[in-house]
């Protein structure tokens, strides 16, 4: 492969392969360069350090479900069911990652703990999407909450069991769908505007 | 110390000291017996195996906050604020454990992962207390929920950030009290009966 066509996306893809193969403790920038058939200098031209490359890989992995989540944010129709769909999409994406490729998932858990800044930004992005749906619901007269950013974070926290990787061990257990529905029903009732 | 007066409670106290001193990987029944000045046979008379002793220590530690929680369950007055107090007491107890004696806390995290049966029983006990408060609230006309045991578990899940040790790292951060209040406000609204 010639250097001229090397894109950040190609480097990130190769880095993920290398991480999957060697594990987070052993994977190096030289391994990534070798996998791409380029010098490690070519990799450093895009990512100034090993830490920067690992952060970028982590961020890309965390953001993979974003496209389908944004679709739920921007969909037409009542806000409260849209927020329910948003959480169902988030849960499905996280479960698929944890259950279909558990080794890569474990690798990413290590990376996520390395770069708390990345995870903070990721969470802020997700909470921002919840806030947009809540504000839309307020505008439509369907939602009543006092402080949209605070409630957005509270809703995110309340659904922790269905998106926080700390609970990944429970995501294949029978009854987890019903547990999701029960917590969501509680939140749904907590944010819906009461008609007088 | 003579064997005649050795109580299970004394053994559990000594076992906790030994665990704190040697860590969960190294602590043995012989260490516990030595700390009490008795033979290891005397310990085995009360706890048939090292695993049984460790489980009993873990259970005692998990149940330490129970007395104050039961007080909240059995208190007089409106059910919804009582449930809020119950969660505040639970959070305070967990935080105190995690922040005041972090080494012992880490030790117990290891023990808890060893004995999933103990943690399951502990959670069932807590969810049962929530259910009692919800049922009392229904009887008093203050609470409206469709399925009390299912909602009790959902409420417990929704408050995970404020009792699950997986989040212990966040419990000393500024803003955690406000986060508690925000999630609780959501649940409060989700369970309170709407007057027509």
Is residue B164 in some structural domain? yes
Say if residue A43 is in the same domain as residue A66.
no
Is residue A77 in some structural domain? yes
Is residue B95 in some structural domain? yes
Say if residue A75 is in the same domain as residue A126.
yes
Q: pLDDT, tens digit, for every residue of B39-74?
A: 999 999 999 999 899 889 988 888 887 778 998 899
The CATH number given to whatever domain includes residue A35 is: 1.10.10.60
Is residue A176 in some structural domain? yes
Say if residue A131 is in the same domain as residue A173.
yes
Q: What is the pLDDT of residue B4?
A: 60
Q: Cβ of B119 under 8 Å from any chain A Cβ?
A: no
Is residue B196 in some structural domain? no
Q: What Cα–Cα distance (Å) separates residue A14 from each residue in A28, A54, B66, B72, B106?
A: 11, 12, 52, 56, 37
Question: What residues have CB less than 8 Å from B190, skipping those under 6 apart?
Answer: A185, A186, A187, A188, A189, A190
Q: What is the pLDDT of residue B164?
A: 93
Q: What is the ipTM of this complex?
A: 0.88
Q: Cβ of A157 under 8 Å from any chain B Cβ?
A: yes
Spatial separation of the C-alpha atoms in residues B9 and B32, rounded to whole Å: 13
- Which stretches of chain B drop beneath a pLDDT of 70? 1-4, 196
Write down the number of H helices and E strands in chain B: 10, 0
Is residue B81 in some structural domain? yes
Q: What is the pLDDT of residue B131?
A: 98
Kindly list the residues from chain B whose CB atom is less than 8 angstroms away from the CB atom of residue A173.
none
Say if residue A79 is in the same domain as residue A173.
yes
Say if residue B116 is in the same domain as residue B178.
yes
Q: What is the pLDDT of residue B192?
A: 97
For chain B, the domain total comes to 2
Nearest CA in chain B to A154: B183
Say if residue A128 is in the same domain as residue A161.
yes
Spatial separation of the C-alpha atoms in residues A70 and A62, rounded to whole Å: 14
Say if residue A82 is in the same domain as residue A137.
yes
Q: What is the pLDDT of residue B196?
A: 59
**Among B150, B153, B186, whose Cβ lies nearest the Cβ of A187?**
B186
| Tokens describing residue B114 | 């060893």
Closest by CA to B93, choosing from B54, B126, B134, is B126
Spatial separation of the C-alpha atoms in residues A113 and B48, rounded to whole Å: 40
The CATH number given to whatever domain includes residue B77 is: 1.10.357.10
Coil, helix or strand for B143? strand
Say if residue A84 is in the same domain as residue A147.
yes
Spatial separation of the C-alpha atoms in residues B145 and B121, rounded to whole Å: 24
Is residue B153 in some structural domain? yes
Exposed/middle/buried for residue B77 (C-beta within 10 Å: 0-12, 13-18, 19+)? exposed
Name the minimum distance, in Å, from the CA of B116 to any CA of chain A: 12
Spatial separation of the C-alpha atoms in residues A139 and A12, rounded to whole Å: 40
Q: What is the pLDDT of residue B114?
A: 79
Is residue A196 in some structural domain? no
| Structural domain that includes position B133 | 61-191
Q: What is the pLDDT of residue B108?
A: 85
Q: What is the pLDDT of residue B66?
A: 78
Say if residue A177 is in the same domain as residue A81.
yes
Say if residue A125 is in the same domain as residue A171.
yes
Contact A158 B186 (CB under 8 A): yes
How confident is residue A4, by pLDDT bands cut at 50, 70 and 90? low
Kindly list the residues from chain B whose CB atom is less than 8 angstroms away from the CB atom of residue A190.
185-190
Contact B187 A185 (CB under 8 A): no
Q: pLDDT, tens digit, for every residue of A42-84?
A: 999 999 999 899 889 988 888 887 778 998 899 999 999 999 9
Please report the number of interchain residue pairs, chain A to chain B, with beta-carbon separation below 8 angstroms: 72
Name the minimum distance, in Å, from the CA of A180 to any CA of chain B: 8
């Amino acid at each position: 492969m010639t250097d001229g066509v090397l894109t950040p996306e190609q480097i990130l893809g190769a880095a993920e392969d290398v991480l999957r193969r060697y594990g987070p403790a052993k994977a190096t920038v030289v391994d990534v360069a070798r996998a791409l058939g380029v010098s490690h200098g070519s990799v450093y031209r895009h990512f100034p350090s090993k830490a920067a490359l690992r952060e970028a890989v982590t961020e890309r992995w965390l953001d993979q479900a974003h496209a389908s989540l944004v679709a739920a944010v921007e969909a037409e129709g009542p806000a409260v069911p849209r927020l329910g769909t948003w959480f169902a999409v988030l849960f499905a994406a996280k479960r698929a990652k944890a259950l279909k490729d558990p080794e890569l998932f474990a690798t990413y858990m290590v990376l996520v703990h390395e770069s708390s800044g990345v995870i903070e930004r990721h969470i802020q992005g997700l909470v921002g999407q919840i806030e947009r749906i809540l504000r839309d619901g307020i505008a439509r007269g369907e939602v009543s909450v006092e402080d949209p950013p605070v409630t957005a974070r509270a809703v995110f926290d309340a659904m922790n069991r269905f998106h926080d990787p700390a609970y990944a061990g429970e995501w294949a257990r029978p009854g987890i769908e019903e547990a999701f529905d029960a917590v969501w029903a509680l939140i749904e009732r907590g944010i819906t505007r009461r008609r007088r």
